[in-house]
């Protein structure tokens, strides 16, 4: 059970149906406003994977308001990768040979009104503590760009192609019917400033930890996103970055 405080924010696991519904309601508010095709009569973003995940809530201790949430699906090894949310969109047989424990991170969202930097610090601290306590060796998930217009992100994708593609032994293959094969299609050199400006903040964090991505982006019209498979091998996180994460988690 994670309990972690930073400033006015605290992280904990969802413990009840009411906790889960609060997370699903926040997800719906955040994702539906971004032009997705979500349409739930109860105003909840929910799917079959919720029942298999650990849900983390970041709450404002002064008001009790939910500021952030995400979910984690622990897997004992690569042989279980087909159970993951990501496996719907990516052919992940290469990762089936990964022998250590894995953790899929997903549905990460922050209430637009919660703009305090401590929200992210608590979220990453909670994730780091869970990884350390459970012996996770690979963190992975789908990391999303807003909208489905790949042209808006060509510099970011060119930078991913040049610096951050997955090692060949773990490289996800195409499975989804609608993808943008940026590693093959883009010929431009990236403008570094524009690439950093258009890169999703969550993806920038993963990359700073030594993360890598698939060579293509899935065009997800339902969620109105482009997303790339993202992996972080815990043993390859730079030591200075590990110290920072564990300082927050401590």
129 in a structural domain: yes
How distant, in Å, are the alpha carbons of 19, 45, 191, 200 from that of 40? 18, 7, 40, 26
222 in a structural domain: yes
- Domain, as residue range, for 154: 71-249
25 in a structural domain: no
Burial class (CB in 10 A: 0-12, 13-18, 19+), 8: middle
What is the pLDDT confidence band of residue 6, given thresholds at 50, 70 and 90? confident
132 in a structural domain: yes
45 in a structural domain: no
190 in a structural domain: yes
218 in a structural domain: yes
More confident residue, 34 or 45: 45
pLDDT, tens digit (0-9, with 9 covering 90-100), for 116-141: 889 999 999 999 999 999 999 999 99
- pTM for the structure as a whole: 0.94
* Mean of the per-residue pLDDT values of the chain: 94
111 in a structural domain: yes
The total of structural domains in the chain comes to: 1
Q: Looking at residue 127, which CATH number applies to its domain?
A: 3.40.630
């Amino acid at each position: 059970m994670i309990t972690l405080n930073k400033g006015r924010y605290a992280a904990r696991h969802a413990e009840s149906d009411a906790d889960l519904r609060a997370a699903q309601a926040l997800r719906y508010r955040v994702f539906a406003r971004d032009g997705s095709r979500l349409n739930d009569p109860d105003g909840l973003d929910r799917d079959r994977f919720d029942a298999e995940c650990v849900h983390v809530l970041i709450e404002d201790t002064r008001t009790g308001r939910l500021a952030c949430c995400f979910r984690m699906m622990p897997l004992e090894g690569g042989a279980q990768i087909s159970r993951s949310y990501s496996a719907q969109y990516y052919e992940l047989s290469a990762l089936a040979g990964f022998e250590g424990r894995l953790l899929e991170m997903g549905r990460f969202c922050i209430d637009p009104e919660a703009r305090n930097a401590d929200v992210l610090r608590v979220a990453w601290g909670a994730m780091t503590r869970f990884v350390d306590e459970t012996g996770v060796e690979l963190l992975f998930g789908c990391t999303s760009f807003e909208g489905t217009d790949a042209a808006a992100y060509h510099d970011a994708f060119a930078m991913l192609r040049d610096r951050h593609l997955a090692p060949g032994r773990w490289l996800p293959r195409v499975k989804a019917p609608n993808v943008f094969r940026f590693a093959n299609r883009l010929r431009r050199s990236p403008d570094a400033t524009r690439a950093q400006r258009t890169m999703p903040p969550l993806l920038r964090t993963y990359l700073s930890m030594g993360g890598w991505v698939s060579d293509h982006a899935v065009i997800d019209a339902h969620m109105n996103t482009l997303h790339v498979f993202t992996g972080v091998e815990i043993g390859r996180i730079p030591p200075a970055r590990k110290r920072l994460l564990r300082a927050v988690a401590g």
